[in-house]
Amino acid sequence: MTGQPSADAWADSCARPADPLLLAASAWDLLGREVRAVRGVPGGRNSRVYQVAFARGRPLAAKCYPEAEADPRDRLGAEVAALHLLCAHGIECVPRVAASDPARRCAFFTWVEGRVPDQVTDEDLDALAAFLARMQSLREEARRARIRSASEACFSLVQVHADVDKRVTRLREAATDPPHAKGLRAFLDHELEPAWDTLRTWSLDRERARGASPEEPLPPAARVLSPSDYGFHNALRDAQGTLTFLDFEYFGFDDPAKMLADYRLHPAEPVDEKRRARFLRRMIEALGEAGVDTAGLADRVRARYPLFALKWCAILLNEFVPADRARRRFAAGAQADTDAVRAAQLVAARKLLRRALAARKARPVRSGGPG
């Protein structure tokens, strides 16, 4: 590549030394632009994120996605397809795709200047609800574009059970890892697995009591387009207060009950529990206004919530799973891998497990009103 700067010109904050050279080659081939500097952006949990500066023109954001051996999901394809769909239909609160390079597992996006919100207002929650509701007007276009199911989408109760089973099984296998196994093994034996047995039976009984089949999939009219990992932990607020929503690697069709439960459960979301519940009620109303068949949705949210809470217990314990630790290191580079981190995650998982069991007695979810 003509005029390529020396390796010393790359910022030393990059997570992997090969990434700047890879991005420089990709930018030259796809955009015809000479890369001047690459700066690592902290915070990525699965993919590596950079700001790429050029000899001329504005900088771009770039992502380097995990190799298929580390994660078989097509994160790059899902994100690029999602943003093309949204931007093509006038949704402006997301980045635009500048170029994508599947062979090198990287993509370039418009650079968004801003900060992750540390405080969220009711107006922000309404803006997020409006964004998600507007997305539903593109469901037919998404089907024509062959947008697939979201990552770990669940359209029936048996699929939810299988998803939780998979997570618990991975933890059981990780509990044989000698340096860190003792605490995890005790938690699985005495708390998580007994709770899962209880919730599995409870959910089957509840499904049958409301006249539904555990095997029957949710009809397409009741499915939604979901970013999956969405919220203000994946948003930036610029100097004018405008929000841009990021991270569409898991985008696709899903059950809105899962989409809403995941938001309420996400540990990184800077919104208190009362206002998360308010958002959930507002979203049920907004989805109905957007043409989604929401019949039975409030009851399904309540019935699925304890199961997804238990799944999030397992997600919190990913630090015990070697494959997940490797993916975190891929995204963030070398970092502390300590017993203290795992101990803290066990404490958080134990607290969330109590919520999962208590949620069986929660009041029904109703739409409308701030709650």
- What's residue 9's pLDDT? 36
Q: What's the pLDDT at 7?
A: 33
Half-sphere exposure of 151 (CA within 13 A, CB side): 20
pLDDT at residue 223, as a whole number: 97
**pLDDT per position as a tens digit, 136-164:** 999 999 999 999 999 999 999 999 999 99
Instruction: Note whether residue 2 is domain-resident.
Output: no
pLDDT of residue 368: 45
For 89, the 3-state DSSP assignment is coil
pTM: 0.88
Domain boundary among the residues 252, 272, 292 is at: 292
- The pLDDT assigned to 323 comes to 67
Last residue of a domain, one of 53, 81, 110: 110
Q: How far apart are CA 5 and CA 305, in angstroms?
A: 52
Report the SS3 class of residue 64. strand
Q: Are residues 134 and 255 in the same domain?
A: yes
What local confidence, expressed as pLDDT, does residue 175 receive? 86
Residue 274 placed within a domain: yes
Beta bridge partners of 93: none
Same-domain check for residues 118 and 238: yes
Q: Are residues 168 and 283 in the same domain?
A: no
The answer to whether residues 168 and 213 belong to one domain is yes
Nearest to 171 by CA among 303, 47, 304, 325: 325
Q: In terms of domains, do 178 and 283 share one? A: no
* Residue 222 resides in a domain: no
Asked if residue 79 belongs to a domain, the reply is yes
Report if residue 265 sits inside a domain: yes
Is 316 contained in some domain?
A: yes
* Cα gap 170→330, rounded to integer Å: 20
Closest by CA to 368, choosing from 262, 278, 272, is 278
pLDDT at 12: 37
Residues 327 and 321 sit within 8 Å (Cβ to Cβ): no
**Do both 89 and 163 map to the same domain?**
no
Q: Which of 204, 202, 169 is nearest to 188 (CA)?
A: 169
10-residue averages of pLDDT along the chain (371 residues): 34 57 95 95 81 96 85 91 98 97 96 94 95 97 96 96 96 80 91 97 93 94 96 95 96 97 91 90 94 92 95 93 63 60 91 94 51 35
Q: What is the pLDDT of residue 15?
A: 46
34 belongs to a structural domain: yes
Judgement on whether residues 195 and 308 belong to the same structural domain of the protein: yes
DSSP state of 149: B
337 closest CA partner among 352, 351, 321, 348 = 321
- The pLDDT of residue 92 is 95
Verify that 49 and 106 share a domain, yes or no: yes
Range of the domain at 254: 114-151+228-292
Last residue in a domain, options 264, 292, 320: 292
- Whose CA is closest to 222, among 298, 295, 149? 295
In this structure, are 35 and 176 located in the same domain? no
55: amino acid identity, one letter: A
Q: State whether 209 and 304 are in the same domain.
A: yes
258/369 same-domain check:
no
Q: Residue 75: inside a domain, yes or no? A: yes
Total count of domains within the chain = 3
pLDDT in tens, 310-323: 999 999 998 888 76
Q: Tell me the C-alpha distance between 73 and 88, whole Å.
A: 24
Q: What is the CATH number of the domain that holds 33?
A: 3.30.200.20
Looking at the fold, whether 357 and 238 belong to one and the same domain comes out as no
